[in-house]
Amino acid sequence: MAMFGVFHFYSFNPPSVMIGIKPEKYTHELIDLHKEFIINIPTTDQLEKVKICGKLTGKDSEKFKETSFTRQRGKRIKSFLIEECTVNLECKVVHKIEHGGSHTWFIGKIEEVHVDSEYSRSNALMFWLGQFRELGEIVEGRKDDEIFL
């Protein structure tokens, strides 16, 4: 399961991240089934392709074909990563938290990290609360004062 999305570092020893996924999403079904996922960190120049991925479901469409992203099998897990992303984290699920809220939290132990030699934090594309951001700036989305209205 290759994905973009919101993630948080959970632990540095062992290196782990956590991701929140709504139970009705196809991504949730796949992670639940395969017990693994890959986090792909795109760059700001990939924003339009990332938005396409966010609008389509992999259940009904082929996101790699629609975006011309290149699928590459992970080294340590069976899921695919996105070759064009400058950072990829291959993760195996070690814990699942269901607490009755809007999201299920999956904690994944990072099994492999891929970092492109061209990676720069300054052009890493992040998403949070309806905003696409690069380091320190909103690239697209709601203004800060609209987030909690």
List pLDDT tens digits, range 1-38: 455 556 788 899 999 999 999 999 999 999 999 999 99
In order of start, what are the domains of the chain with their CATH numbers? 2-146 (2.30.110.10)
Note the pLDDT tens digit of each residue in 50-72.
Answer: 888 888 877 888 888 888 899 99
Q: What is the DSSP letter of 70?
A: P
Is the Cβ–Cβ distance between 71 and 2 less than 8 Å? yes
* Pairwise CA distance, residues 63 & 98, whole Å: 28
Sign of CA dihedral 68, 125, 24, 14: positive
- Could you tell me if 143 and 133 are in contact, meaning their C-beta atoms sit under 8 angstroms apart? no
In this structure, the dihedral spanned by the alpha carbons of residues 31, 113, 110 and 98, taken in order and rounded to 10 degrees, is -40
Condensed to tens digits (0 to 9), the pLDDT of residues 126-140 reads 776 677 777 767 777
Peptide bond just before 14 cis, omega within 30 deg: yes
pTM score, two decimals?
0.83
Looking at per-residue confidence, does 97 or 135 come out higher?
Answer: 97
In the 8-state DSSP scheme, what is residue 25?
Answer: S
